Copies of this chain bind each other. A is one copy, B any other.
Amino acid sequence: MPLPARPNIAIVGATGAVGRELLLILHQRTFPHKSLRLLASSRSAGSTIEHCGQRLTVEELTENSFDRIDLAFFSAGASVSKTFAPIAINQGAVVIDNSSAFRMDENVPLIIPEINGSVLDDFPQPGIVAVPNCAAIVVLMAVTPLHRAVGIERMVVSTYQAASGAGTAWMRALQQQAHDYAQGRPYTTDVLGRQYLFNVFSHNSPIGPDGSNFEESKIIAETHKIWGDDSVRVTVTCIRVPVLRAHCAAVNLTFRQPLHEDQARDILQAAPGVKVVDDRDANKFPEPIDATGLDDVLVGRIRADLSQPPNMGLNLFVAGDQLRKGAALNAVQIAECLVQSPARTV
């Protein structure tokens, strides 16, 4: 039973950074819908958000919020998803979840539409579809076409992650620190607990027993799930940089079969949702400010890794808007797959 052509939609976490981007993208892509219900915590309930010329009032998220909802986007954190996604499903909705709550659930598809959208052809509705981790999406958009071509044997990733991954409050706090600096005041640290402007630091997720932080572990596990191949060897270092909303990553690849740098560039130029920015003469490569607001993931610094046998390794640098392809856009693309299945537009 596919989604109705014009579903009733709910957005859980409508006032957050991803929630607001979801609204914008539904508008930009003229996603068909009959009604739109904005849901948030009691703190935000009663506030209004402008959407397509209308003022919509944000309602408090409760057990009764999903009455007659066909499609619910969740982007209010894992604990909200764990509590309310089952309720939405029980009331007949399809849930598209931006949190990490269900990503590794073997019954929940973990989808980047350009990569494994076909998994949704057999999706039983109602149910949950998970949006992968934002940094994982940005990296896998660029690397998967190469994996399809020759197989990735091993991948070493170092990230340069933006404030937006931690939400609107972090973006504002970083901006506040620039104001503090300019006015010669001590840095405001009530939200961040540290200096972020003019600084970088290891990703602020807890460290697991193997020494990886949760962000790093997610990227490894989600790569395996999305590729359906646990044998790919992946190691990741996740670092926050003082950037507002696009994630970057330096990616070092070891191939299973040889692939010349020029072939890799051709494959990436043909890949959907990927834009090659690789001008060596002008020294112009992917930058987070250029990726901001774009749907495409930018990829450049495409060059043979000379520390490996000829054509057996490659270096890349990628940049992608964390709020768009890293979250909201990917969620809307999943919804498009479900509404239009099997004739997708991706």
Residues of A near any B CB (own CB < 8 A): 154-156, 158, 160, 174-175, 178-179, 181-183, 195, 197-202, 204, 206-207, 210-213, 233-235, 237, 239, 241-244, 248, 250, 252, 261, 280-281, 283, 285, 287-289, 300-308, 313, 315, 317
**Which residues of chain B are near A242, meaning CB under 8 Å?**
198, 241-243
Shortest C-beta distance, A220 to chain B (Å), equals 8
Contact A206 B289 (CB under 8 A): no
Contact B307 A234 (CB under 8 A): yes
Q: Which of the listed residues A235, A248, A261, A300 has the most CB atoms from chain B within 10 Å of its own CB?
A: A235
**Which residues of chain B are near A201, meaning CB under 8 Å?**
285, 287
With A210-B303, A302-B211 in contact, is A202–B285 under 8 Å at CB? Answer: yes
Contact A211 B160 (CB under 8 A): no
Contact A200 B243 (CB under 8 A): yes
Chain A's interface: helix, strand, loop or mixed, by majority? Answer: mixed
Which of B178, B213, B241, B283 interacts with A202 by CB under 8 Å? B283
Taken together, the copies of this chain in the complex come to: 2
**Which residues of chain B are near A281, meaning CB under 8 Å?**
207
Contact B317 A241 (CB under 8 A): no
With A160-B160, A198-B244, A289-B198 in contact, is A304–B178 under 8 Å at CB? Answer: no
Shortest C-beta distance, A63 to chain B (Å), equals 35
Contact A250 B244 (CB under 8 A): no
**Which residues of chain B are near A179, meaning CB under 8 Å?**
182
State A230–B309 Cα separation when bound (angstroms): 15
Contact A200 B283 (CB under 8 A): no
Q: Can you show 24 pairs from A to B with CB atoms below 8 A apart? A: A155-B307, A158-B237, A158-B250, A160-B239, A174-B198, A182-B182, A199-B288, A200-B243, A200-B248, A201-B285, A202-B283, A202-B301, A202-B317, A206-B283, A207-B281, A210-B306, A211-B280, A211-B315, A212-B306, A235-B306, A237-B252, A241-B242, A242-B243, A252-B252
